[in-house]
Amino acid sequence: MSLALREPRPLAVEPLTRAAFAPFGEVLESAGATALSINAGSTTRYHDLAQLEALGSNARTLFSLFNGQAWHSPLQIRQLERHPLGSQAFYPVDGARMLIVVAPAGELDERAIRAFISSPEQGVNYAAGTWHHPLLCLQRPGRFVVVDRGGPGQNCDERLLQHPLEACF
């Protein structure tokens, strides 16, 4: 049977919290973070927000900007990807909100897929190997700082879902 012929099943969308997202990585936000006054008091540093991972020989950390297109509800989820050799962090620089669709690392278990909706002050750091949907900006285009792994090795696996999902937000 073709994947295009299957009706999507509903996917519940949850608020993004540190506790709920912990199995997949880290929520990036200043709320609750260690705040340090630096530069003679002119700057506040929110210290050590994520455990960034770049696994393998000759790996390096990349710092990029992504411009994401706007997505609207309802949204069909048909594929996920993972980066087995490093974490991948997304943080909005313009207050854009994200729909974050994830599943635990390991073999893709479609029954374990979860969806979160971020606030304008939140980003995420996907742990190495965590399945996730590519960037989904809600209602308007958005710009994101992205920190992930560069270097040799196959670091992106993509899978089509056997049973598409539909997220309403």
Q: What is the mean pLDDT of the chain?
A: 94
Interatomic CA distance for residues 137 and 84, integer angstroms: 24
Residue pair 166/115 in contact by the 8 Å Cβ criterion: no
Considering its fold, how many domains does the chain have in total? 1
For the chain, helix (H) and strand (E) counts, in that order, are: 1, 16
pLDDT at 86: 97
Interatomic CA distance for residues 18 and 45, integer angstroms: 20
pLDDT at 161: 97
Annotate 2-47 with DSSP letters as a single string.
-GGGSPPEEE-EEE--HHHHTTTEEEE-STTSEEEEETTTTEEEEE
Interatomic CA distance for residues 155 and 38, integer angstroms: 36
Q: What is the extent of the structural domain holding 140?
A: 3-167
CATH number, domain at 40? 2.60.120.480
pLDDT at 11: 97
pLDDT at 1: 43
Residues 36-55 pLDDT 10s? 999 999 899 999 999 999 99
Question: Of 158, 103, 90, nearest to 131 (Cα)?
Answer: 103
Burial of 65 (0-12, 13-18, 19+ CB in 10 A): exposed
pLDDT at 4: 55
Q: Low-confidence residues of the chain, pLDDT below 50?
A: 1
Does the pTM exceed 0.85? yes
pLDDT at 55: 93
